[in-house]
């Protein structure tokens, strides 16, 4: 049995996957931009393999984020899953990704805050209607 990898490997891999998806790239496209194989990208994203520093630098450059971005919120491994459940189903996942990509294109921080406020108000109203 292979040694168990540290939970940070899964978290860093998830950040790679999320950023790649925000950019609308396939694993193959990211691999081409980094000189890695798509199988390596797949293993990194799934936390199966540790990302060595040289690969992390290549991923950082390709994804347009500083290397520290991969570790910004990794103070400690989470003991529990995210308390906010995501909607199930492919359609919901596509909608979330479409919304995230569009939000990412908004350059004006004040506009971004208004979008967040609007979506939160809509969700709160929906919660009240469901109760």
In the prediction, which pLDDT does 2 show? 53
Name the residue ranges covered by the structural domains of the chain.
7-71, 90-130
Would you write out the chain's pLDDT as a tens digit for each of its 131 residues? 455 677 888 889 999 999 999 888 999 999 999 999 999 999 999 888 989 999 999 999 999 999 888 887 765 555 544 445 556 677 777 787 888 888 888 888 888 888 888 888 888 887 676 65
- Tokens for 23, please give them: 């950019």
Query: What is 22-50 written as a DSSP string?
Result: HTT--HHHHHHHHT--HHHHHHHHTTSS-
**Domain 7-71, CATH:** 1.10.260.40
d(CA 41, CA 27) in angstroms, rounded, equals 6
């Amino acid at each position: 049995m292979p040694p168990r990898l540290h939970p940070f490997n899964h978290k860093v891999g998830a950040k790679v996957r999320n950023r790649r998806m925000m950019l609308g790239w396939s694993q193959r496209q990211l691999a081409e931009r980094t000189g890695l194989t798509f199988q390596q990208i797949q293993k990194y994203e799934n936390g199966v393999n540790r990302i060595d520093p040289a690969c992390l630098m290549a991923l950082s450059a390709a994804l347009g984020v500083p290397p520290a971005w991969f570790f910004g919120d990794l103070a400690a491994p989470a003991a529990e899953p995210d308390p906010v459940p995501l909607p199930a189903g492919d359609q919901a996942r596509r909608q979330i990704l479409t919304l995230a990509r569009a939000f990412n294109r908004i350059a004006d921080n004040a506009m971004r805050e208004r979008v967040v406020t609007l979506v939160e108000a809509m969700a709160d109203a929906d919660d009240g209607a469901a109760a």
